[in-house]
Structures are given as structure tokens and as C-alpha cells.
Structure 1
Amino acid sequence: MDGSLTRTLAAGLAAGLILAAAGCAGDQTGAISPVAVTVPPEAPRTTGRERGGSDADHAKLVASFGGEYRAPTALRMVSEVTDRLVRATERPDETYAVTLLDSAAVNAFALPNGRLYVTRGLLALASDTSELAAVLAHEIAHVTLRHASARTEMALRSELVSKVVADVLNDPATGALLQDQSRFVLARFSRSQEFEADQAGVRTLSRAGYDPFGAARFLTGLNRTMALKAGSGLATEADLLATHPSTPERITQVTQAARRIGAPGLGADDRVRYLAAIDGIAYGDNPADGIVRGRRFLHPRLGVTFEAPDGFALENTARAVLGTTPDGGRRLLFDAVETHAGQGLEDVLKATWNDAIDTGSFQNRMINGFPAVTAVSKGKEWFFRLAALRVGTNTFRLIMAAKGTADPEPAFERWLASVGGVGPDDARRLRPTRIQIVTAAPGESVEAMARRMVVGDRETERFLVLNGLDRGATLRPGQPYKIVVE
């Protein structure tokens, strides 16, 4: 993380960043093996399907997402849905190897070489097979439309033009301007690819016999999840340089695409079968690897905890805790760093931060009894507050970034002041959670079922989002629903 930290913070957080996650429950155990199952005019032409990527690359990617998640029933279901979708595409001869990732983030992606990855967090959020199929169809569309190759070639072309102008024509200023302009072109190109994949995905969804409105339902659930996580309840506008359009914008587009196919209720959703397949999968973080509870992060093994300032939504990834505000204007990063004997905290910051640090900003401090060093770094587009802090034998970095020239010091200081140790009692109270499928009893209310959830806060809101229900909804007796239990 340290080598690309500035780029990581400036690039922002995707909806589904990776989480190191928990073990198995119920029948979700056993060995896992992979199961085979028009580019925009401004893009260059591409031919053939790139089958690059070694087993070692696959292993590294999977490890960065917490490893493979061993859930044979769920894997079989995802593979069958994938196979059914591929047969409905314009490239039915292509094959995909499905891997489930042990990550609580809501994420899925397909590589040009035919590897398809789905997180258990995505399986937990989807409410039926058509919603899962909508996500898979979107990712498969990226592959069949050769989006990755086109994006790479466009990036290389933009870089080459900028370099020729700067070096060959001896005009560095114009070269730099063209490079900046190319970033906007690539961002628009990527967003257009997302829309194109959405449209193609909805068509494939329908041809495969699934409910084409599953795409809109899933994206609505994703939007509600992110709003709940951020505590805002409001949709945010996409960054001008964001590679994905805003979720509300995508919901509108896929809904219109589904309406062009037919009325709601067309196609199967296989809800009962889907819920049976995910019954027992792990939900949320594994306490042994650190856990997020609202704005609080606790890591029993490392013995550290902190609370993010108001407005930040946290994600616990395999290598760091990342946080962002709803508008993306402020971000934070917390991670552990390796140090050598005798290395001071000031040297830790210098060694792990690529940008220039204001030399006069270094301060030696004590934070709740822990030695720390803080500093400031000012980039072209971001203002950074940095800290290295030692808790026992472990050294941690706390980095907060604010877009523009505004100093995030007040929020950064509140964050620093919240850092503390994790006691044995706190560690014992943290247990892994899982999805349980339960049947609604006659007369049972949403509130009553939500009270059975082990989620820490806002049980009713989380139950509604998890089950794709609107406010004021009533439960249908005899129907299955998802709850979160220990």
C-alpha cells in the first residue's frame, strides 16, 4: 500500500473494496475448485480474447481479497447461473472459471482470461438468483465486449500522443495539458463502457430467462447499502473522473432497458432456491482480522481500536482500513507497517510516504499513552495529514486526505484521539456472524424479525436493505428471509 498510497487515496474507494473475512458455517464447507462454466467508436479495434494471467497472478489476486471462500453449495449455484448466462451471450463458446472470494465487500469482476470472481458480501446482499445473474451478466459483458483491451489501448495511445508532443515536438506544456485531458477522456470512456455493459447485461439476463428487472433491484440494494454505511441516506454525484457512473444513474438506465423488454414479473427470480444456497455463509468481518462496527474499528490480535470521525464510512480491507465521506472529498487510511529495530517513527513516515513531507511539520507526541509522530504533506490536488503511532510492538499509520487546500486537521485530531488498546473482554465479545434463512410466522412483523439480527445498530433498516424490502413492507407468512446471527 505504501508505494501507491497517494494514488490509492486520490483514486477513491469503490463500492466494494476488499475485506478479510470469516470462516464457514452450516453446509458451506469443503474443498473448492474452479468450475468451468460493440466497443465505443473512439476506442481502437481489438481482436481475439486475451488469455493472459498465470496461476501465480490468480493466487495473488485471491489472497488480496482474503482468500477463497469455501462454500460448495453457493459456488455450484453461481457456476450454474454463469453457464446459463454465457449460453445466452453472443459468445456462447467461451468458458469461465468461478472463484468465490472471502470478502465482505460487495464486489464481482471478470478478467479477459475467463476468470470470474464473486465476493461472499455480494451473495449476502443479493435477494434472488436474477439479482446475482444481473451482476454476472454485467461482468461477462465487459469480457465479451473486450472492454479491458480497448481501455488499455486507449490509455497507451493517449500516453504516446502526450509523450510525442512533449519530447519530440519539444512542447512539455502542451504535452502535460494533453495528458490531463486524456484522463477525462478515459474516465468518460470507462463510464460509457459501464453503461454499455449494463445494457448488454440486461439483454443477456432476459435471453437467459431471468427477470430483467433484477439489475435495477440489485443496484437499488447496493445504493441503499452504501447510504446506510455512510449514514447519509442520500445518493452522491459521481466524481468527474470516476470510472463508474453514479448508481442512481445506472438504476435509471437498467430500468429503462428492462421496460423495453417487458413488464415486471417477466422471467424467473428463483428466490427460494437462491436463499437456500446462501444459508449459513459468513457475514461481515472476521473478528480475528479486525472488525468494523459502524465508525469503530477493533483488531483484537493487534490490540488496537479507533473511531472514524462523523461522516466517514469504513471498509476493512486485507491490507488496510479505508474510509471515505459520501462526497469522496475526504478519505482516510489506517494500516500496520513493518519496522526494523531502532527505527524511529519519523523515519517510518519518511520511508513509507512517496510524496514530499513538510520538514517543519514533524511533531513528536503522546496519544493516549502511545508514542506518535505527526506531519503534513501537500499534493497538487490533496492535503494530507500523516501519523505514525506505536502500540506495544506494533506500528501503525494514520493518514487523512482532504481534496483541495482545506486542512483536515480538526477531523484528523479527533481520529487520533480515539486510538486505544483492545482489552481481553472486548476481544471475547467479538464473534463472527453469518446469514441465516428463517421463515416468517403468521403475524410476524418486520421489527420483530429485525430484533433477531446481530448487527449492532439500526436493525430494522439493515433487515429491510438485506431483504430488498421498502419501508412499511409487511412479511409474507411462510416465506424465507435473511437475518444476521452469530
Structure 2
Amino acid sequence: MGIRRAASLGLAALALSACVADQTGSVGTPRAVRVPAEAPRVTGRDRATDADHLKLVASFGGEAKAPAVTRLLNEVTDRLVRAGDRPDQSYVVTLLDSPVVNAFALPNGRLYVTRGLVALANDTSEVAGVLAHEIAHVTLNHATARSELELRSALVSKVVADVLNDPDTGAQLKNQSRFALARFSREQELEADAAGVKTLAAAGYDPFAEARFLTALNRTIQLKQGGGTANEPDMLATHPGTAERVALATRAARRIGAPGIGSDDRSRFLAVIDGLPYGDSPRDGVVRNGRFLHSGLGIAFTVPDGFNLENTRSAVLGTTADGSRRLLFDQIEAKEGQGLDAMLKATWNDSLDPAGSETTEVNGHQAAFALSRGKDWTFRLAALRLDGATYRMIMAAKGSADPEVPFRRWVASLAEVPADEMASLRPTRLQIVQATGPGTEDLARRMVVPDRALDRFLVLNGLERGATLVPGRSYKIVTE
């Protein structure tokens, strides 16, 4: 959780929309996506300024200090460009210091890859598959085409509503355009996948690498959701389902040749990423031994039993494996003279039950509690003031179940942490080790992760349950 304060957040999981985001769409064959030639030209080629670039990088935690990894990414990009349809196009890759698995491109040739994505890959060809996909977005002018469609749709609905004085039809057209834009984006992703596989093979890389990475992405998402399948998004999802993308990328690779063609450059890749920072940074909050500690804020709390946490830049989100309970922890802006009870009310959209309102102290700190009962969820809320900062804690239980007991215990665990304890926190990193035997448990036990060490080891190394290791072969683990 970043140090910046959030005014109000809902309990829905925050997700950044990018090319590796997991969404589900209709299954179909990728086809070329083009704005009709007769469409009015309302945008041009977007060239972000250096200031825009710096703002974007800052929003992802800054640029990662891993020169060997950055050098490899740029070398791979150059190789892909030489083999592609636009060898005259220039690109620059920026490695972002973010644990999320993400990659995206700007129309001006700037490519962005997070260290979380690099850590998930198992060889150079998998990273090349991601970069080939992003390059395809640029060469196919997807961003410009989407902007054209967005602005044209907005223009049509506004003309109908304002000029033709038909607001109902204007609103209907606006709503229809949202679904059209979502479908348009999904088709763009599939088109970029197909083009990326083709470029991957032309550059001499394993064309099946893109499907392998997408499979790893899908397993990562399932792991975050407690081992279940990904939730079905709404019809406005801008990305096809990862499973669909895997099937189509595999089909595209098979049209090129059988598995085993092309290089994966695994040994060099693992050597380059050895020591790469992994997961959240202590400055943004980490989970250690059942506690969430945030060195930037100087606070910690105990993770409630059964909850898996996701640390975003604005809040800590949590959910149980069955999805029946959720939590949120964030920092809220204190207004001059505003009491904690008023702050809870001001940052909550639904009504509060007076029976659950209470102003008190928790471990010597000012606190306010509140209760909200919705149609499908029961919410317990609290606001606490520690060292001049105000924190909000929310726990929700599905149905009529009241989470008051575990909620009170969670709130009571929030405390300031001595500076020396925070200073002792070390970031986790990837370590490349050689297997000494076929079992996976020994290496999994060395993983410094919040939970499910074996599952995380398997996903990180692209291994299925029951897999055996090859003695002498290199594998990734997470250590301090």
C-alpha cells in the first residue's frame, strides 16, 4: 500500500487493465481490427512527453534498478523488431519496479514491463513473447484505432442527444458503444497474440513460449483467488479470457511447427534474473510471519485467519479462499475538526446502522466503529488515529453473518512498529538454485512467501503438481 492517502475505496478488487490482465470474452478466431477509412480523423499519433513518461513510471513504483535485466529486454526487443514487419521502428523498454505481472506499450514505441512479469517468466523466449505482443499493438496502431472509435462513438451519441434533441436514443447509443469498445479491445488482444507468435518464430524464438507464459499467468491468478477458477467478469471486459488466449496462441504456434523448434535461452535468462527483487517492497508493505508490516507508515497488523492479502498502491485488500469474507485497509484524509465517526460516514456510500456506532479507544488510540448491513453483505468498519495518521479498516461477511469478533481482533492488532524492527525488514529476491533431488518440497520449504509455499514454487517454475525436479537443473526460489 502506497503512502498516499485514499479518500474512499470500495471492496471490489483493484485491477490494472493491461495486456496481461486476465479477462474472459467470447471464443473466436482473431481477425484484423480496423476503423473504417471513412471515419473522421479526430486523433493523431500519440507521442508522450518525457514528463508523461516520468509520471507513468512513478505510478508503478519507479524504474527497477536491474541493468542486466533491462539490457536483456532491449536486446530481445531489437531482435524481434529486425524480424518483424516494421524493422524501421525504434523501441525503448523500461523495467518497472512493481511486483504486479504487467506489460503495456505506448504508440511512440515505449514498452513497459514490470519486474513481477519478468520473475514469472522461465526463459528468454517467454519474455520475448510478451514483448512481441506489445510490439504488435504498436505496429497495428491499436491505440490510435481505439481512440478513434472512442471519440467517434462519443461524438455520435452527443449529436443525437443534443443536436437532434433525443437524449434517450443518445444514452442508448452511448451504452451500446461501451460494449462495442470492449469487444473491440478483446479483438485487438487476440490480433496482437497472433501477430506476436508469428514474430516470435521469425526471430528464432520458441513460438510456443507465449502460450506457456499465458498459462503461468492463468495459474498465478488462480493462486491469488485461492485455487479456484477466475471469476467471470462482466460483458465489458476488455481482455479475452487467459484460457482462450492460451488455446489460440498454441494453435498459432502449431501452424508454424511442432514443439521443440526455436530457442528458449533458459540458462542465460535465469542467470540474468538471479537476485531480482521479488514481491512487495517493505516500503509499500509486506507480509511476514502472519503480520502485515509497512515500513513507510511505521505500522503493522496481524493478518486475520484464513485471509489472503493483496497489496495495492492505495489499499490492502483481502479475501478468504471461498470468497465469503473480505477486508480493506487504507489511509483516509482527515479534515480539520472532523471526528472519526464523521469520517467513517463521509467515506462510506451506504447507510450506517446506529446500533453499531461507537467512539472509544483501542490500545490508547482514538477509534470509531460502525456497522452497515447491505442486501448481500454485512460490513464492520473502524477508523483509528495513530501518530497523526488516520486509518480505515473494513471487514465484510457474505449474507447475514456478522464478522464482529474477528474484526475487533484485527483492529486491536493494529499498532505502531519500532523503527529498528522496520529497519530489519529485508526485501525478498529471486535466487536461482540447482535441484539436488527429484522432490519439490525441499526447495519449496526455502521459499520466503506468506503462504502456500509449494504452490507458489510450482507456479513460479512452470511446474504442475506431482512434477519431479531434474537434479542439477536450475530453479527459482524466493529468499530474503
TM-score bracket for this pair, using the shorter chain length: 0.7 to 0.9
1:297 aligns to 2:289 (yes or no): no
Q: Structure 2 CA distance, aligned partners of 1:193 and 1:204?
A: 16
Q: Structure 1 CA distance, aligned partners of 2:171 and 2:333?
A: 37
Q: Name the % identity.
A: 58
Q: Structure 2 CA distance, aligned partners of 1:173 and 1:378?
A: 31
Equivalences for residues 228-243 of structure 1 within 5 A: 228-243=223-238
Equivalences for residues 440-455 of structure 1 within 5 A: 440-441=435-436, 443-455=437-449
Cα deviation, residue 352, structure 1: 5.8
Match of 2:145 in 1: 150
Verify the 8 A CA contact 1:219 1:247 in the aligned structure 2. yes
Match of 1:13 in 2: 15
Q: CA 1:272 to 1:341, structure 2 compared with 1: closer, same or farther past 3 Å? A: same
Match of 1:69 in 2: 64
Match of 1:269 in 2: 264
1:52 aligns to 2:54 (yes or no): no
Q: Structure 1 CA distance, aligned partners of 2:6 and 2:170?
A: 26
Verify the 8 A CA contact 2:6 2:330 in the aligned structure 1. no
Cα deviation, residue 463, structure 1: 1.3
SS at match of 1:462: helix
Q: CA 1:125 to 1:325, structure 2 compared with 1: closer, same or farther past 3 Å? A: same
Q: Structure 2 CA distance, aligned partners of 1:413 and 1:166?
A: 52
Q: CA 1:250 to 1:453, structure 2 compared with 1: closer, same or farther past 3 Å? A: same
Cα deviation, residue 75, structure 1: 0.7
Cα deviation, residue 210, structure 1: 0.7
Q: CA 1:167 to 1:257, structure 2 compared with 1: closer, same or farther past 3 Å? A: same
Aligned residue type for 2:410: S
Verify the 8 A CA contact 1:85 1:208 in the aligned structure 2. yes
* Aligned mate of 2:368, from 363, 369, 372: 372
Q: Structure 2 CA distance, aligned partners of 1:113 and 1:415?
A: 49
SS at match of 1:287: coil
Q: CA 1:10 to 1:423, structure 2 compared with 1: closer, same or farther past 3 Å? A: closer
1:96 aligns to 2:91 (yes or no): yes
Verify the 8 A CA contact 2:19 2:189 in the aligned structure 1. no
1:418 aligns to 2:410 (yes or no): yes
- Residue by residue over 1:188-224, the C-alpha shift from the partner in whole angstroms, topping out at 9 and shown as x without a partner, is 1111111111111111111111101111111111111
Aligned residue type for 1:282: P
Q: Structure 2 CA distance, aligned partners of 1:382 and 1:151?
A: 37
Cα deviation, residue 85, structure 1: 1.1
Verify the 8 A CA contact 1:100 1:119 in the aligned structure 2. yes
Aligned residue type for 1:151: R
- Residue by residue over 1:432-464, the C-alpha shift from the partner in whole angstroms, topping out at 9 and shown as x without a partner, is 1111111223x3522122222222432222111
SS at match of 2:201: helix
Q: Structure 2 CA distance, aligned partners of 1:162 and 1:99?
A: 38
Q: Structure 1 CA distance, aligned partners of 2:45 and 2:328?
A: 35
Match of 2:273 in 1: 278
SS at match of 1:289: coil
* Aligned mate of 2:387, from 361, 385, 392: 392
1:217 aligns to 2:209 (yes or no): no
Aligned residue type for 2:459: V
Cα deviation, residue 309, structure 1: 8.0
Verify the 8 A CA contact 1:383 1:408 in the aligned structure 2. yes
Cα deviation, residue 164, structure 1: 2.1
Verify the 8 A CA contact 1:367 1:417 in the aligned structure 2. no
Aligned residues: 458
Cα deviation, residue 471, structure 1: 1.8
Verify the 8 A CA contact 2:293 2:300 in the aligned structure 1. yes
Match of 1:137 in 2: 132
Aligned residue type for 1:389: L
Cα deviation, residue 431, structure 1: 2.8
Verify the 8 A CA contact 2:280 2:286 in the aligned structure 1. yes
- Residue by residue over 1:47-67, the C-alpha shift from the partner in whole angstroms, topping out at 9 and shown as x without a partner, is 997242121111111111111
Q: Structure 1 CA distance, aligned partners of 2:144 and 2:408?
A: 43
Q: CA 1:83 to 1:309, structure 2 compared with 1: closer, same or farther past 3 Å? A: farther
Cα deviation, residue 476, structure 1: 1.7
Aligned residue type for 1:40: V
SS at match of 1:471: coil
Cα deviation, residue 93, structure 1: 1.0
1:316 aligns to 2:311 (yes or no): yes
Match of 2:109 in 1: 114
Q: Structure 2 CA distance, aligned partners of 1:187 and 1:245?
A: 10
Q: Structure 1 CA distance, aligned partners of 2:309 and 2:380?
A: 18
Aligned residue type for 2:280: D
Match of 1:339 in 2: 334
1:478 aligns to 2:472 (yes or no): yes
Aligned residue type for 1:62: V
SS at match of 1:288: coil
Verify the 8 A CA contact 2:19 2:104 in the aligned structure 1. no
SS at match of 1:86: helix
Q: Structure 2 CA distance, aligned partners of 1:94 and 1:5?
A: 43
Cα deviation, residue 299, structure 1: 1.9
Q: Structure 2 CA distance, aligned partners of 1:391 and 1:17?
A: 39
Aligned residue type for 1:481: Y
Aligned residue type for 1:372: A
Q: CA 1:66 to 1:95, structure 2 compared with 1: closer, same or farther past 3 Å? A: same
Verify the 8 A CA contact 1:282 1:435 in the aligned structure 2. yes
Q: Structure 2 CA distance, aligned partners of 1:412 and 1:195?
A: 46
Q: CA 1:396 to 1:317, structure 2 compared with 1: closer, same or farther past 3 Å? A: same
* Aligned mate of 1:465, from 459, 468, 474: 459
Q: Structure 2 CA distance, aligned partners of 1:64 and 1:329?
A: 32
Verify the 8 A CA contact 2:395 2:407 in the aligned structure 1. no
Q: Structure 1 CA distance, aligned partners of 2:350 and 2:35?
A: 40
Verify the 8 A CA contact 1:100 1:120 in the aligned structure 2. yes
Cα deviation, residue 69, structure 1: 0.6
Q: Structure 2 CA distance, aligned partners of 1:291 and 1:337?
A: 20
SS at match of 1:435: strand
Equivalences for residues 156-235 of structure 1 within 5 A: 156-235=151-230
Q: Structure 2 CA distance, aligned partners of 1:295 and 1:142?
A: 42
* Aligned mate of 1:260, from 255, 258, 269: 255
Verify the 8 A CA contact 1:3 1:352 in the aligned structure 2. no
Cα deviation, residue 368, structure 1: 4.4
Q: Structure 1 CA distance, aligned partners of 2:19 and 2:340?
A: 29
Q: CA 1:398 to 1:156, structure 2 compared with 1: closer, same or farther past 3 Å? A: farther
- Residue by residue over 1:406-430, the C-alpha shift from the partner in whole angstroms, topping out at 9 and shown as x without a partner, is 8798469855651322544974774
Q: Structure 2 CA distance, aligned partners of 1:329 and 1:151?
A: 38
Q: CA 1:384 to 1:445, structure 2 compared with 1: closer, same or farther past 3 Å? A: closer
Match of 2:33 in 1: 40
Equivalences for residues 17-36 of structure 1 within 5 A: none
Cα deviation, residue 15, structure 1: 8.0
Q: Structure 2 CA distance, aligned partners of 1:410 and 1:17?
A: 39
Greater shift in the superposed pair: 384-393 or 279-288: 384-393
SS at match of 2:283: helix
